[in-house]
């Protein structure tokens, strides 16, 4: 179906149909492809819809970005949840929530952005999750008000971008934008984010209180080995680059501003990493003109962004689904695994990256004393790592079998991306 739609799009484009006709055709073809994708169980169809629309109407990505107030969220971890939080904050501040358009399903390449914004092309506000490699284009074409820079971490080791190269591209894009560039809300704990963000016309620094440092050994400015003190603060002994004093910081479930104002978060999404995400969303919302109590009221309505932390039903079993895509994400997500047993599902499809050596960087030792069920296509690889971590486990490769239980109450399931999507589909969880 996708191939036939793509051939149709190419034919329409090659025949030179004028733009006034191309656009409605692009909508018709894109929407038909999205429906076909959903009916066939292949996903939301957002990416194929956007891809076909861009084939028929090539300039639509740039055109949709013009004339909007735009907030952009990017980084390796936390994009989708932070996007939902900021969107909820903005929607709580406007008379009509439909005035805020977003790519809620996490489709964050150009195709996904086009698909999302085409649903409400005249919406005055767009809150967009954007893949790291697309950020420079959005800065250049969309002139966003705010850019949230969360973190840079190794991801999809066999095929994905090298994080230092990404940092250089972001910094170059911010330098090129100059005074027309966005206000950057930056994770002060990440050295590469810090170095990239310092090129922006204005930076709001956030201490996200996360503990992952394995991707930040060398100074991105001069290459010197970074120093970390006992409190986790970092500094480069070879150049002026160092951790900035935060304008917002997370402490004990509250966000504290530089002037001492404290805001209880009371989120429905768990984990200290989501408290850090919320601090960034709050800072961005304030920069976009939203009063803190209104922003927080909206953020507290977010429950299961694109299926994350949703409860799926699998026969007699109820399972809370948690997604982690790389070592940094797994390190934080293991901290919210509350059940015994806990189920870990690992796949190595294209969307995950076929190289699963990252599992040796995850501290599975944190699960000692609890029983683990290893499932998914790479369950035996995970079992080997768990053996070295001295974690009691059993291997049930078939995920449906692994979820049969019986379990007392809801069981926590932590999985990679492809396994997560299948679990959502199996458990009746909507990705929205």
What integer pLDDT is reported at residue 160 of this predicted model? 53
CA 259 remoteness from chain centre: 30
pLDDT tens-place string over residues 339-396: 999 999 999 998 888 889 999 999 999 999 999 999 999 999 999 999 999 999 999 9
pLDDT tens-place string over residues 310-337: 999 999 999 999 999 999 999 999 999 9
Q: Known binding site: residues?
A: 219, 222, 236, 239
pLDDT band at 243 (very low <50, low <70, confident <90, very high): very high
Rg of the chain (C-alpha set):
22
List, in order, residues 6 or more apart from 166 with CB less than 8 Å away.
132, 133, 152
Taking CA atoms, 173 is separated from 141, 201, 236, in Å, by: 11, 12, 24
List, in order, residues 6 or more apart from 169 with CB less than 8 Å away.
133, 135, 136
Residues spanned by CATH 3.90.190 within the chain? Answer: 310-427
113 has a pLDDT exceeding 90: yes
404 has a pLDDT exceeding 70: yes
CA 288 remoteness from chain centre: 21
Query: Do residues 324 and 416 touch, judged by C-beta distance below 8 A?
Result: yes
CATH fold of 310-427, please? 3.90.190
- Rounded mean pLDDT of 413-432? 94
CA dist 325 and 131 (Å) reads 14
Residues spanned by CATH 3.40.1190.10 within the chain? Answer: 60-299
Q: Known binding site for Zn(2+): residues?
A: 219, 222, 236, 239
21 has a pLDDT exceeding 60: yes
Is domain 60-299 given the CATH code 3.50.50.60 in the classification? Answer: no
7 has a pLDDT exceeding 60: no
224 has a pLDDT exceeding 80: yes
pTM of the model: 0.93
CA angle (283 as vertex; 278, 284 as ends), nearest 5: 95
127 has a pLDDT exceeding 90: yes
Residues assigned a catalytic role: 355
Query: Do residues 89 and 54 touch, judged by C-beta distance below 8 A?
Result: no
């Amino acid at each position: 179906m996708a191939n036939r739609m793509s051939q149709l799009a190419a034919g329409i484009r090659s025949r030179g149909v004028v733009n006034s006709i191309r656009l409605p055709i692009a909508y018709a073809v894109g929407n038909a492809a999205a429906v076909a994708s959903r009916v066939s169980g292949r996903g939301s169809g957002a990416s194929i819809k956007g891809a076909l629309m861009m084939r028929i109407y090539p300039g639509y990505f740039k055109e949709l970005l013009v004339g909007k107030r735009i907030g952009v969220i990017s980084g390796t971890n936390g994009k989708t949840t932070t996007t939902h939080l900021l969107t909820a904050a903005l929607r709580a501040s406007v008379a009509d929530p439909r005035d805020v358009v977003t790519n809620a399903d996490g489709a964050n390449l150009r195709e996904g952005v086009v698909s999302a914004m085409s649903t409400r092309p005249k919406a005055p506000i767009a809150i967009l999750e954007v893949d790291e490699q697309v950020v420079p284009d959005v800065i250049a074409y969309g002139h966003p008000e705010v850019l949230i820079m969360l973190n840079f971490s190794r991801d999809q080791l066999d095929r994905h971008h090298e994080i230092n190269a990404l940092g250089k591209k972001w910094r170059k894009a911010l330098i090129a934008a100059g005074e027309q560039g966005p206000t950057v809300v930056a994770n002060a704990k990440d050295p590469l984010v810090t170095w990239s963000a310092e090129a922006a016309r204005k930076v709001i620094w956030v201490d996200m209180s996360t503990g992952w440092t394995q991707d930040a050994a060398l100074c991105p400015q001069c290459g010197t080995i970074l120093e970390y003190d006992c409190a986790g603060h970092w500094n480069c002994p070879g150049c002026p680059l160092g951790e900035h004093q935060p304008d917002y910081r997370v402490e004990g479930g509250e966000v504290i501003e530089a002037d001492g104002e404290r805001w209880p978060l009371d989120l429905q999404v768990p984990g200290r990493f989501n408290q850090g995400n919320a601090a960034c969303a709050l800072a961005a919302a304030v920069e976009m003109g939203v009063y803190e109590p209104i922003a927080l009221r909206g953020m507290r309505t977010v429950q299961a962004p694109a299926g994350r932390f949703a409860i799926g039903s699998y026969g007699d079993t109820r399972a809370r689904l948690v997604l982690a895509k790389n070592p940094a994400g797994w390190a934080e997500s293991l901290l919210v695994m509350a059940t015994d047993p806990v189920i870990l599902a690992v796949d190595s499809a294209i969307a995950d990256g076929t190289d699963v050596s990252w599992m040796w960087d995850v501290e599975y030792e944190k699960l000692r004393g609890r029983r683990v069920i290893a499932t998914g296509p790479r369950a035996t690889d995970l079992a080997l790592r768990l053996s070295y971590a001295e974690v009691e486990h059993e291997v049930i490769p078939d995920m449906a079998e692994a979820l049969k239980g019986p379990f007392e109450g809801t069981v926590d399931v932590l999985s990679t991306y492809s396994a997560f999507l299948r679990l959502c589909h199996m458990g009746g969880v909507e990705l929205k």
